[in-house]
Chain A
Amino acid sequence: MKISVLFVVALCLSIGSAGATNFLHQVDTITVEGQVNGPDGPLEGVSVLQEGTAGGTKTNDRGRYSIRVPGNRNLVFSSVGYLTQTIPVDYRILIDVRLEPGDQALDEVVVVAFGKQKKKELVGASTSVSPGELKVPSSNLTTALAGRLAGMVAYQRSGEPGADNAEFFIRGVTTFGYKKDPLILVDNVEVTPTDLARMQPDDIASFTIMKDATSTALYGARGANGVILITTKEGKEGAAKVSFRLEQSLSSNTRQIDLADPITYMTLSNEAVLTRNPIGRLPYSQNRIDATAAGVNPYLYPANDWMAQLINKTASTQRANLNVSGGGKVARYFIAGAYNKDNGILKVDGRNNFNNNINLQNFQLRSNVNINLTSSTEAVVRLSGVFDEYNGPIDGGAGMFRKIISSNPVQFPAYYPSSALPNARHILFGNSSESPTGGGSGSGIPSANYINPYADMVKGYKDYSRSQMYAQFELKQNFGFLVPGLSARMLFNTSRYSYFDVSRAYSPFFYSANPIDQSHSQYRLSLLNESSARDYLDYSEGLKDIRTITYYEVAVDYNRAFGDHTVSGLLVGIRRNQLLANQGTLQKSLPYRNEGVSGRLNYGYKSRYLVEFNFGLNGSERFYKSQRYGFFPSAGLAWNVSSEPFWEPLKDAVSELKIRATYGLVGNDAIGDENDRFFYLSEINASNINRAVYFGTLYNYGRDGFTVSRYANNDITWERARKLNIGLDIQAFDAFTFTADVFSERRNNILMTRSYIPATMGLAATVRANVGEARAYGVDASLDYNKAFGSNWWLQGRLNFTYARGEYLYYEEPEYPENLKHLSRNGHALNQTWGYIAERLFIDDYDVANSPRQNFGEYGPGDIKYHDVNGDNEITTLDRVPIGLPTVPEIIFGQGLSVGYKALDFSFFLQGSARSSFWIDPVRTAPFIPNPDLGSGSQNALLQVYADSHWSEDNRDSYALWPRLSSTQNTNNSQVSTWFMRNGSFLRLKSVELGYSLPERALSRIHLNGARVYLSGTNLLCFSGFKLWDVEMGGQGLGYPIQRVFNVGVQVNL
């Protein structure tokens, strides 16, 4: 029966609708009543719910409850400060329960490296988040991370579907080496951030970040940046449980960049030329500006608002998720499928029959099956596949935004009406033969010299296809019959990744219009690119990325209590082999391998005093034989103060108090950069065309030359991190849970370029060594509040706070003399920026002549005046000082509040970020100049704020936002300086959700166990001093904006 329901639901999913369906299905639903008591009598506010659902009830002030459930289900009784109980209903109508006091939170079992531990016995620092909290209306899990977990620093720079991964670091950035982000493991297997982004919260059983030495030492040479550990759900014995979730979202840009109108653009474009060169040629004549302003003829005098012409106001997204779990004595299963469809915000031209907007479809399938082969042997098979199918513009979403803000608005219209050339069978795109930077106007040779963003958007489309498949087999054997407490398991995983993309596009026909009458009402089109235009599609193959990973793990576990003493141990061996195709060089084509043995030993006395010792012994193929293996030990102590007899009097107020301390060594073997393999081998390019020479009468006898791209170094090895963590766990007043950790880390052996090698050595590649050192410190804390009031109200709150700062401890650099100490990085934050102190804009020539010479190219009045730090009367690189705060925020915090009343629930989440700086890009926002990413044909738009505030000869505002205009890039003004520095702090209303759980009576009639509809939104409000674009995008504000999402969803359980 269940299966048929499943089938029907799947069918609904496959046809993309979940309309009302008649379920032919019959399970007796009964009303269960009872009394819940604690040691001191009836308990009020105990949550009673049907297992696997959100709907439920609470006990009243006399401890009574009543709930309607199917007779074959389990009931879960839970309350803060008591041990949760799960009781099968078994068609009983009266169930009384006695809850034992206990700490629910500290009694939880939490996931740790290669296993699980009771939270009460935990020594290391780790944070878990309930997967439900990660359910945000987004197809990207990483966007939900910021502020949810104490100890995680995260921020999102782009809102483009498929490219909107947030960047995240555990306890901030603690190295200046290559890999800074954490190791991510799903069911013990390493995955990429994009794999994490695609995870469905519905499939996740636990989401944990591991922060200190004892929790990460087992990962040895790979754990120094912290570890994210995810396990997926497993089936539980019982009838099939089906959960189905459907969401429909509408997204729009959180903030749109304001561009100046075309008339201002033209006027200031002229000013940009004249103000620098009085004999320069003006790009726009006054007649033309007047005609454009008067709207004489939009095809002869176009005025484009590219943003409006290319971008829709909103985009829609659909998500569906289904999972089924259950099982019998022999086997249990959890199978899940998901479908997400994200649409981009670009417009589509109806004259093409292909879609040039972003359409990212994501399919997922997961099947976890546990089989009891014998009473002591369990086999687990986990299969999962994640598949992306993408269709989008050739340039990608961010590329289109870049073109929109880098295209001339007045030189040509997007396209001419087809009536202008009735015989043409293609779109008549506009363009111009003029030169984007003035100079000669090309009356001689017709050519399309500009980027027409509209043509680039609609001329074709790009597909990509990405597949990631995992096949995992795990075998667990309990050896309790030989040695009590002994078990072992082995795991084999293989994953296959493939990606390819293909672009198809035609080469647009570009026309320019010339007037044919005095009144300029008529025009004639002339084709500009006859030789290159095509009205049929061409095709180009893109990147093909194929990789395979195999992973093998064997573990032996021992876990036993002897009276007051508990002992547990773990020994695990791993091996990992990764192969990449299409790597381009021989050395990169060789396998990437790791192997290691790790172990853990725990001892506890009366659960009061806990000791843990861990080690990892890891090897990596990248290093010389003598450097290949590293040993990473760690140890920790914990004291459950509240378990001491002397604590008894305080137990009512503070039910739990635990103090933890750990110290140990962890490594990071991802050093150098992704192209670095085999540091102990030199690498040469034996046919470098840049070192080629040709001789002979006709210059045709040639040889390519040699270059060394790496010098051999046998000593290079991994980074080592020494981590100290001191933590405190408190539970108090039945409702508060508080965890705080302070940490300190010292990272050494960071690979860096030797600083003392002068150019006269003539080396073709840099010489590097493990000499860098960094330190980090900080605190992360969370406070949870969880309380029910009466049987109708409940309230949950959570506060997270992370402060993490990393500093250079030793960065090898030249011996700076006393007056240049400001150049030294040592003691400054990692991600600190060095730049010039901008004093103001130069007032006039006299001011320029009487100021220190600035060595960055031509400058004059209205250009930025920098401060001469070292007093040598010249502004050079030696005048750079640390400016601003690090580019990665040092403080991340989050605050969530959920409140429920009967069937209604409401929650919101505030997220903040502080202590970071970013820089407005002075090149990519500089009006009128070509965008360096796009090259000739592009011409940056004029931001309204620059139009409103810039230095001009009439308005010599020394503190204007933008310096004197220029028709070319002014390298004096584009130096990194305090002029364009901005504060990256913000507080945003990250999400809001309002839910309603349908009454059981109504549900049982249609044979549902639970249903909840909800409205939610993300990124609804943002508070920041910066207004140009969404501040979270930082210096990349001209890209695809972060999206504000409104969402409606329904969750159904049966």
Chain B
Amino acid sequence: MKLIRFFLLTVALATVASCSFLDVVPDNIATIDNAFNSRNEAEKFLFTCYSFLPKEDHPDASPNFNAGDEFWIYWPIHDADRYTLEPYNIARGLQNKVTVNLNHWEGSGNLVPSLWQGIRNCNILLENVDKVPDLDPYMKSRWRAEVMFLKAYYHWYLFRMYGPIPIVDVNLPISATTDEVRIKRQPVDSVVNYIVGLIDGATTGDHQDALPTVISNEAIEQGRITRPAALAIKARVLVTAASPLFNGNPDFANFNDKEGVALFNTTPDPAKWGRAAEACRIAIAACHDANRELYRFDGGVLAVDDATRTEMSIRNAVCEPWNSELIWGYTYSGAGDPALPSKLVQLYASPQLDPNNISLNLRGQMAPTMKMAELFYTKNGVPIEEDKEWDYSSRFDLRTTTAADSMMQNGYTTVGLHFDREPRFYADLAFDGAEFFMKNGIWPIQNKSGQTSGIKQSRLYSITGYYAKKLVNWNLIPYTGGFVAMELYPWPIMRLADLYLLYAEALNELGKSDEALPYLDRIRDRAGLPTVQMAWSEHSKNPDKYTTQPGLRAIIRQERLIELAFEGSRFWDLRRWKQAVDELNDPIYGWNILGEDAATYNRRVLLFQQRFVGPRDYLWPISDNSLIVNPSLVQNPGW
């Protein structure tokens, strides 16, 4: 009976079930509301907004380097030698709408995030930043301005890739209906106006002084948006919008959305150049106010000759951290390796330097194409095919250096192409016979099969025989065991020379060539070249070229391609000038790197025949999947 009583008691206890048995979740579980409870957490959210910045220094995550015709790479690439194949696929004509390469629309992994997610985060911060209790008003204002800029930048980046894009000014709720989420693409001009409006909002009116002119707390804030940076990006947006791709492009005449709204304006509007020029002028003024000026190398304690000084002025305009020319530097490439700016690109670009310290980390796999080697001017500052004194037809003939060829190894046999070129040629490129000036010495580059940087040395090699010396900071040192010491530099998203060239381009389009020339000449002066006027009048077969608008346009464009070579500008410039269809249908050439002597090595080898289909390839495809999910979207023409 005792047992029965026990039994009944147990059953009774069990049936009086406490209702909270299933309430297992304690209070204070982290949810999104926690992000704005304190300044500290909110700062994390601000950084989150920044974290979607495309990794512009990442050779595998950005089209900047390997998706066009500036660089070529050995093929097939070993899995261990790249993060993704996406930019290489684009260069090889494999872009497609199934698995879109470098898909910033839908995002692909952490390397190529969806910029729409970035925009959503920006909107979340803008909606909530006022809730942060312990944030000073001026900080709130600055954060808001920064995030407005980032929101503009993400729209801009998508615009540059996809052309007319939808605008996401406010976030849709999770519970939005099917019809609400099916947003449409907006016409090019509306998108540009929206982006410019956002940047104006971040730099004028309430936010006139919200962004700093210069970063005062450099140790912890360098790399964040400044007012000059915002204005310079606005200038780039407007120059792009005025350029032939987006300004009255007849190729996109019948590109309408599903309701028949034309997405491209097919009538060129010269006023767009005026707006662009004005934005450039204001941006340049803001940069000058912030003490931005073209960088000049000061050897410091190191005694260097003039030629080297010029070379280092050119190289360190990019590679010297936080130099006087930098307007906006990108400081972080994402989690893991390469967490730090410019690290990967330096390793991808650098050849083996020290025969006693060969390092697999020095990959040298990003190989400038022969077209890039031919792009640079002669020492007279004019294109090689225009120079009266330069022997263009013998450029592939062998020739041996003398003491006069101070930028190359003495008594070394190489080709005519490498002789008597402008300083930027020797500063930007290394090749068989070149010298690699570094802080710890001058390294002779010998690239024939079996030589120090040649193909036999490592599974990683330059397929063309060229190396992008420009991207390698002069403090890089390989040590035994493969370790490489390096100085990292913030990746220049915008530097003053770029802005000058944008301004010159806009001025010339407005017919103000006399105002444009001084900006070109400043850049040429730093590169150790005579002015445009002098160079063309004295050395060119076409001495009046600069006096006509089309002639000067060609000069400005080539100057831009040379000055900003290997910095991720050419890929986009060729597109906005609508020149990609010419340039990117050329063959890719390199030297016969399997050659073991000068005669066999210095043979031009066809590496690839590129294919660029216009107008299709001017814009990224939107994936089939996105189009199916959102029937309001239309595909870009040709895809």
Q: Which residues of chain A have a CB within 8 Å of any CB of chain B?
A: 277, 279, 281, 373-374, 377, 435-437, 439-445, 447, 475, 477, 488, 490, 531, 552, 554, 556, 573, 575, 586-587, 590-591, 593, 595, 619-621, 628, 678, 681-684, 686-687, 689-699, 701-708, 711-712, 755-764, 767, 814-816, 820, 855-858, 876-878, 930, 935-936, 967-968
Contact = CB atoms under 8 A, between A and B. Distances in A.
Contact of B51 (A593, A692, A697, A761): A692
Interface stretch (B93-101, B133-141, B312-320): B93-101
A755 B76 contact: no
B341 interface: yes
5 contacts: A440-B457, A697-B219, A757-B629, A762-B171, A855-B97
B22 A490 contact: no
A684 B34 contact: yes
Given A686-B34, A762-B118, A764-B117, A477 B3 contact: yes
Nearest to B606: A279
A556 B456 CA distance: 82
B248 to A, nearest CB: 27
A439 B78 contact: yes
Interface in B206-220: 218-220
Given A440-B459, A587-B25, A695-B222, 15 more contacts: A279-B605, A377-B7, A439-B455, A684-B34, A690-B51, A690-B334, A694-B340, A696-B221, A699-B332, A701-B221, A759-B114, A761-B120, A855-B99, A878-B624, A936-B80
Contacts of A878: 624, 628
Nearest to A573: B14
Interface centre among A699, A767, A858 (most CB of B within 10 A): A699
A697 B322 contact: yes
A528 to B, nearest CB: 13
Nearest to B107: A759
B106 interface: yes
Given A439-B78, A440-B458, A759-B626, A691 B96 contact: no
B110 interface: yes
Contact of A444 (B23, B44, B458): B458
B332 A856 contact: no
Contact of A694 (B14, B89, B332, B352): B332
B51 A554 contact: no
Contacts of A763: 117, 120, 174
Contacts of B30: 586, 683-684, 686
Given A697-B222, A759-B116, A684 B32 contact: yes
A981 B78 CA distance: 29
Nearest to B622: A759
B490 interface: yes
Interface centre among B183, B221, B331, B626 (most CB of A within 10 A): B331
A699 B340 contact: yes
B481 A531 contact: yes
B83 interface: no
Contacts of B628: 814, 816, 820, 878
Nearest to A856: B98
Interface string B418-462: 000000000000000000000000000000000000011111110
Contacts of B625: 877
Given A475-B7, A477-B7, A760 B332 contact: no
A855 B78 contact: no
Nearest to B490: A699
Given A690-B335, A692-B47, A435 B25 contact: no
A554 B13 CA distance: 10
Interface of B: 3-4, 7, 10-11, 14-15, 17, 21-26, 29-32, 34-35, 41, 43-45, 47-48, 50-51, 53, 74-76, 78-80, 89, 92, 94, 96-99, 105-107, 110, 114, 116-121, 166, 168, 171-172, 174, 176, 178, 181-183, 218-224, 321-322, 331-332, 334-336, 339-341, 352, 358, 360, 455-461, 481-482, 488, 490, 594, 605, 624-626, 628-631, 633
A968 B458 contact: no
Nearest to B340: A699
Contacts of B332: 692-695, 699, 702
Contacts of A531: 481
A678 B23 CA distance: 11
Contacts of B17: 573, 575, 595
A855 B360 contact: no
Nearest to A930: B79
Contacts of A552: 14
B35 to A, nearest CB: 5
Contacts of A686: 30, 34-35, 41, 44
A692 B98 contact: no
B331 A696 contact: yes
Nearest to A859: B94
Contacts of A587: 25, 29
A990 B108 CA distance: 47
Give the 5 A-B residue pairs with the shortest CB-CB distance, closest first: A762-B120, A705-B48, A855-B96, A701-B220, A435-B459
A652 B97 CA distance: 72
Interface centre among B4, B176, B182, B339 (most CB of A within 10 A): B4
A814 B632 CA distance: 12
B3 A377 contact: yes
Contact of A442 (B21, B35, B105, B458): B458
A554 B10 CA distance: 9
Contact of A712 (B31, B79, B181, B630): B31
A701 B219 contact: yes
A762 B168 contact: yes
B485 to A, nearest CB: 15
Contact of A757 (B48, B181, B331, B481): B181
Contact of B76 (A437, A475, A573): A437
A440 B460 contact: yes
B116 A444 contact: no
Contact of B21 (A593, A816, A858): A593
A573 B114 CA distance: 49
A621 B24 contact: yes
Contacts of A575: 14, 17, 21
A60 B399 CA distance: 113
A701 B332 CA distance: 10
B25 A678 contact: yes
B624 A702 contact: no
B24 A858 contact: no
A695 to B, nearest CB: 4
Contacts of A439: 74, 78, 455, 459-461
A693 B594 CA distance: 43
A857 B89 contact: yes
Given A628-B22, A699-B223, A699-B488, A477 B117 contact: no
B182 to A, nearest CB: 7
A712 B175 CA distance: 11
Nearest to A439: B459
A762 B220 contact: no
A619 B21 CA distance: 10
Contacts of B626: 758-759
A373 B3 contact: yes
A277 B458 CA distance: 21
A761 B105 CA distance: 11
Contacts of A967: 76
A682 B31 contact: yes
A591 B181 CA distance: 37
Interface centre among B24, B110, B481 (most CB of A within 10 A): B24
Given A711-B174, A820-B628, A967-B76, A705 B321 contact: no
B4 A696 contact: no
A690 to B, nearest CB: 4
Contacts of B178: 756
Contacts of B172: 761
A441 B450 CA distance: 10
A689 B47 CA distance: 11
A877 B99 CA distance: 9
Contacts of A377: 3-4, 7
Contacts of A556: 11
